[in-house]
A = this chain, B = another copy of it.
Amino acid sequence: MESPPEKAASQAEAITMSGGGVYSLATIGAKHVIDAALPLVEDAIDAVPEASFAEGFTLADMGCADAGTSLDMVGAAIARIRSRVPDVPVTVAYTDQPRNDFNALMTNVHGLGPFDAYLDDHDDVFPLASGTSFYRQALPPESLHVGFSATAMHWLSDKPGDIDGHVHMVGATGADLDRFRARGHADWRRILSHRAAELVPGGRLVLVNFCIDDEGRHLGSTGGVDMFDTFAALWQEFLDEGRITDAEARSMTLPQYYNTLEEFTAPLVDADEEAHRAGLRLVHAETRVVRCPFAADFEQHGDAERFAHAYLPTIRTWNESTFAAGLDPSRSVDERGRIIEDFYGTYRDRVAADPEGHGMDYVHAYLVIEKVA
């Protein structure tokens, strides 16, 4: 049993996306990102050796949350698989950490939620869910044909420390940044190592991960107001006003690392790296910016109040659990709830008062990786 890694993953496993299907409903932008990756997924399917899936094809969505954002992509992927081998049984393996909302996932996948289900369009498709995070091997050796992941692998296996005066590594410097970089690099290699074990020879990965692009852009920072700076500034104000303690302000650090394209590709092009020795090779790498759908809507409707109310929920889906956990547990549940509501309320008011430049544009690396046959 890989005990130390499992323990190391425990903190990341405490991070949860919003449950009950709220995640997918609030994150239409994440769906746009996934839909944009479909041509890469289709190319990956086309490239897998046909002999390897005569008996069945396994597609995985790793870090799937409630699976709502990838339903359309998975349906299209099944059609592509069947265009190669008609009627081949397809297993769709959904993986996430064990505290993910698997009830929402099953509801969405089986068409009992707010979305159309691809199961209605295709026979002999077998959805399966794993509560094993991507920091461990979730599937049997050489069983995976195409592994997909979107907007998930920036979550570190553990928080390597708190960041002085900021909430995210994009605002870290010096020793703080070094600690996050070291953990980020080690975690990326650990993710690749487990995927190398899972892939069939000739299998492929299509990984769509948050990144810092060549122009220094990243999620929520593409030239306008920097979203992470806003988080940091707001918590600093809460600290200055005595509404949170210094220890709480420091605890708001998000356990994330955004790699550059160079950092992502290094383990795949250097023959001394373990991932390369395990047979993983870089097929394709690019970065893309997908516009914040709420900021794009605002450009059309021009209603600042409406924009602010539409925009905030997408932020809350992914950072509320970290910020709420950063508050001292000696505070009552009600008090903690009030602080969190005030925090997002203040953010919302700020956007409504001066909307220009706000938004959460997505900046992703789109990576295609092959395991040599």
Using CB atoms and an 8 Å cutoff, list the residues of chain A in contact with chain B.
1-2, 55-56, 89, 91, 93, 98-103, 105-107, 109-110, 112, 119-124, 126-132, 137-143
Contact = CB atoms under 8 A, between A and B. Distances in A.
Contacts of A121: 1
B109 A126 contact: no
Given A110-B131, A120-B1, A126 B102 contact: no
Q: How many of these chains are in the complex?
A: 2
A141 B109 contact: no
Contacts of A139: 126
A231 B139 CA distance: 46
A140 B124 CA distance: 7
B102 A129 contact: yes
Contacts of A127: 130-132
A112 to B, nearest CB: 6
A33 to B, nearest CB: 26
Contacts of A1: 119-123
Nearest to A91: B140
B129 A112 contact: no
A233 to B, nearest CB: 36
Given A100-B106, A101-B103, A121-B1, A138 B112 contact: no
B112 A98 contact: yes
Contacts of A141: 56, 89, 124
Given A130-B127, A139-B126, A98 B106 contact: yes
30 contacts: A1-B119, A1-B121, A2-B123, A55-B140, A56-B143, A91-B140, A93-B128, A98-B109, A98-B110, A99-B103, A100-B106, A102-B103, A102-B105, A102-B106, A103-B103, A106-B129, A106-B131, A110-B131, A124-B137, A124-B140, A124-B141, A126-B130, A126-B132, A126-B137, A126-B138, A127-B131, A127-B132, A128-B128, A129-B129, A129-B131
